[in-house]
């Protein structure tokens, strides 16, 4: 069933990354209507009613987040989290590359709702070319009167700037992102206060993911009720699932939330190459517990409320598939190496704990003295649990603990190798 694309519309409409094509296909009508016919509060209400949840990984309802902005404090800022760095995630990249104007229109709608006159797109530094293209498109919008002062004859003014990161996954955490944008070390802040109260430059700020914002023009155009007809009750709308790993056709697939794993992996992804058996799934990049690819799991709907029932999380919906040839202990070595490399170092449990876990995993793989090391690894992970300043440390232990719990034999095999 070829459902229409809401976010990956470029798959339905060739050339959508050109402004003239985008305008031809109804582009910026949503923004115009919002700015000229609705109040900011009404836009917030509409988005709240749609049930749109943040697509960066936390899944927090966007409209609710916006309603937390401190009243009467100005100026405000919109900051776009385009720091896409979670392993297995490449959806924001495609949206910004191929459907950029819908994304930019979404940023503008958000800015109008938040009553912000400036928006920054914090783009990971590796997206250098993409960022340059985005800046060129922003310039086009300015030239076309779709960005700048007094848009559509109203008092609403907006400018958008691109700010490049420089290679730090932790800057995808919203408070670390704000620190980085302020020119300081990109380390997370204490919360509270939350960005809606004290964000960029200590002013009320909305931080949203690229995909979240790209949803706004369709929602504004077609309404909250329409949006709720897609997906599930608690997870309305479509999601762009990034599928990677041992599949025939890795890529981004926009599907309604609630689509089961099986559909994504086998129908769209072409199944496992060579017809091999599927073994494990990481549903949220490295930042969620690993799932054993049982039938129950494969039939689980991919949405925010169903994943916890099988012991994991949807997160950013970056589905990494692993087949029977994979050594889960090796997978966990990779994820732990990632988190250890990306740990900002601010808090003791994550800084020392990810280092320690990696030491143990490397010893397990290098054939060093390994008796009792799997239990130790689990104990270290448990020691980190619940103590970290930000979610990175908490996520780092999830593949470790779930890996050991659900795939113990893979680990035990390494334990026997050493003295």
Partner 1 sequence: MTATEIRSGVLRQRHAAEIEAILARYPADQRRSAVMPLLYLAQHEYGYLHAEAIDEVAEILGISGTQVGSLVGYYSLYHDHPGGKVRMQICTDLPCALRGAESFAREVCQNLGIRLGETTADGAVTVEEVMCLAGCDKAPMFQVQDDHGIHYREHQTVAAALEWVEEVRRTHGR
Partner 2 sequence: MTAADVHLTIDGKPVTVPAGTLIVDAAKRLGIDIPVFCYHPKLEPVGMCRMCLVEVGRPARDRTTGEVPLDEQGNPKLFYNVKLETACTTTVGEGWDVRVTSDKALAGRKEVVEFLLTSHPLDCPICDKGGECPLQNLTLDHGPGTSRFVFDDKIRLHKRVPLGDLIFLDRERCIQCARCIRFQEEIVDDPVIGFYERGRKLEIVTFSEPGFDSHFSGNTTDICPVGALTTTDFRFGARPWELNAAASICPHCPVGCNLTLNTRREAESGGAEVIKRVMPRQNEAVNETWICDKGRFAHHFASSPTRLQRPLVRREGRLVEATWDEALQAAADGLRAAGSGLVGIAGGRLSNEDLFVFRRTVEAAGGSAMLDSRMAGGDLAAHFGLGRQADLGRLGAGDVILVVGADLHEEAPIWWLRVKQAAQRGASLIVAHPRPTRLDGFAAHRLVFEHGRSVEAVLGLASHGAEGKGLDRYGHAPELAPAAHAIAEARDFVVFFGGEGLDGAGTQALAQACGSLLAATGHVGKANSGLVAVWPRANDQGAWDLGFRPIDDVGGALRQARAVYLAASDPLGDDPSTQVALDSLAFLVVQELYLTATAERAHVVLPAQSFVEREGSLTTGEGRVQRYYPAVPPLGATRPDWWIAGALGARLGAPEAPASAAGCFEQIASAVPSYAGISYAALAEVRPQWPLVGGDDLYFGGTAYANSQGLGVKRSTGAEVDSTMKIAWPAPPTPPAGSGLLFVPVVRLYDRGTTVLPSMLLEPHRSRQQVELNPADAHALGVGDGARITFEWDGRAETAEVAVVDGVPEGIALVPRSSGMSLLAPTRGRLRTSAQGADR
Instruction: Give the total of residues touching partner 1 (CB under 8 A).
Output: 52
Task: Answer whether 154's CB lies under 8 Å from 160's CB.
Answer: no
Give the one entry of partner 1, partner 2, none that residue 181 binds, where binding means its C-beta sits below a cut-off of 5 to 8 angstroms depending on kind. partner 1
3-state DSSP assignment of residue 68: coil
Of residues 47, 38, 39, 92, the one with CA closest to residue 66: 47
> What count of residues does the chain have?
419
Contact letters (x/-) for partner 1, 74-103, by CB under 8 A? ----------xxxxxxx-xx----------
Query: Given candidates 45, 126, 305, 394, which one binds partner 1 under the rule CB under 8 A?
Result: 126
Indicate whether 128 belongs to the interface with partner 1 (CB under 8 A).
yes
How far apart (Å, rounded) are the C-alpha atoms in residues 107 and 80? 8
Q: What is the DSSP letter of 378?
A: H
Nearer to partner 1 among residue 94 and residue 105 (C-beta) = 94
User: Which positions touch partner 2 (CB under 8 A)?
Assistant: 168, 170, 185, 190, 340-349, 351-356, 359, 363, 368-369, 376, 379, 383, 386-389
Which value, to the nearest 10 degrees, does the dihedral of the CA atoms of residues 268, 134, 185, 210 take? -40
Q: What is the DSSP string of 321-362?
A: EEETT--HHHHHHHHHHHHHHH----SHHHHHHHHHHHHHHH
The alpha carbon of 298 is separated from its chain's Cα centroid by a whole number of angstroms, namely 22
Is position 238 an interface residue for partner 1 (rule: CB under 8 A)? no
Partner whose binding site includes residue 165, from partner 2, partner 1, none (CB under 5 to 8 Å by kind) = partner 1
Per-residue H/E/C for 83-114: CCCCCCCCHHHHHHHHCHHHHHHHHHHHHHHH
Q: How far is the CB of 186 from partner 1 (least distance, A)?
A: 7
Map residues 17-56 to x or -, x wherever contact with partner 1 holds by CB under 8 A: ----------------------------------------
Footprint on residues 137-196 left by partner 1 (CB under 8 A)? 161, 163-169, 180-186
Q: Does 413 bind partner 1 (CB under 8 A)?
A: no
The total of other beta-carbon atoms located within 10 Å of residue 24's CB is 12
Which two structure tokens, joined as six digits, stand for 152? 């559509």
Q: How far is the CB of 25 from partner 1 (least distance, A)?
A: 26
User: Residues 324 to 353: which contact partner 1 by CB under 8 A?
Assistant: 326, 331, 334-335, 338, 341-342
Dist CA 170 CA 176 (whole Å): 7
If the CB atoms of residues 26 and 367 are measured against partner 2, the closer one turns out to be 367
Give me the sheet containing 76-82, strands edge to edge.
Answer: 159-164, 116-123, 76-82, 205-209
Choose between 214 and 400: whose C-beta lies nearer to partner 2: 400
Give the nearer residue to partner 2 in terms of CB position, either 96 or 360.
Answer: 360
Position 254 contacts partner 1 (CB under 8 A): no
Sites of contact with partner 1 (CB under 8 A): 84-90, 92-93, 124-129, 132, 161, 163-169, 180-186, 201, 242-246, 250-252, 282, 285-286, 320, 322, 326, 331, 334-335, 338, 341-342
């Amino acid at each position: 069933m070829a459902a229409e694309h809401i976010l990956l519309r470029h798959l339905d409409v060739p050339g959508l990354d050109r402004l003239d094509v985008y305008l031809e296909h109804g582009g910026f009508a949503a923004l115009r209507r919002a700015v000229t016919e609705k109040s900011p509060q009404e836009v917030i209400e509409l988005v709240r009613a749609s049930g749109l949840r943040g697509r960066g990984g936390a899944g927090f309802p966007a409209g609710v987040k916006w309603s937390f902005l401190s009243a009467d404090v100005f100026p405000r800022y919109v900051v776009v989290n385009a720091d896409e760095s979670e392993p297995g995630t490449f959806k924001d990249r495609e949206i910004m590359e191929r459907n950029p104007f819908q994304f930019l229109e979404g940023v503008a709608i958000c800015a109008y709702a938040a009553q912000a006159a400036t928006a920054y797109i914090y783009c990971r530094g590796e997206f250098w070319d993409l960022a340059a293209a985005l800046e060129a498109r922003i310039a086009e919008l300015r030239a076309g009167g779709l960005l700048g002062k007094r848009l559509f004859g109203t008092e609403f003014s907006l400018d958008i700037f691109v700010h490049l990161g420089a290679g730090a996954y932790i800057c995808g955490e919203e408070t670390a992102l704000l620190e980085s944008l302020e020119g300081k070390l990109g380390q997370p802040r204490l919360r509270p206060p939350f960005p809606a109260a004290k964000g960029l430059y200590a002013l009320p700020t909305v931080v949203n993911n690229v995909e979240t914002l790209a949803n706004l023009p369709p929602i504004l155009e077609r309404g909250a009720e329409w949006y709720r007809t897609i997906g599930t009750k608690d997870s309305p709308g479509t999601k762009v699932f990034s599928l990677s790993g041992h599949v025939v056709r890795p890529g981004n697939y926009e599907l309604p939330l609630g689509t089961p794993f099986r559909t994504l992996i086998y129908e769209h992804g072409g199944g496992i190459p060579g017809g091999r058996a599927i073994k494990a799934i990481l549903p949220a990049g490295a930042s969620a517990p690993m799932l054993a690819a049982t039938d129950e799991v494969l039939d689980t709907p991919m949405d925010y409320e169903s994943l916890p029932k099988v012991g994991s999380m949807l997160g950013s919906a970056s589905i990494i598939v692993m087949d029977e040839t994979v050594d889960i202990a090796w997978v966990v070595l990779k994820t732990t190496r990632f988190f250890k490399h990306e740990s900002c170092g601010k808090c003791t449990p994550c800084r020392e704990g990810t280092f320690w876990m990696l030491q143990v995993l490397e010893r397990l793989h290098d054939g060093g003295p390994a008796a009792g090391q799997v239990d130790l690894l689990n104990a270290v992970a448990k020691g980190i649990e619940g103590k970290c300043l930000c979610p990175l440390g908490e996520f780092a232990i999830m593949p470790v603990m779930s890996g050991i719990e659900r795939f113990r034999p893979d680990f035990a095999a390494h334990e026997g190798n050493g003295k």
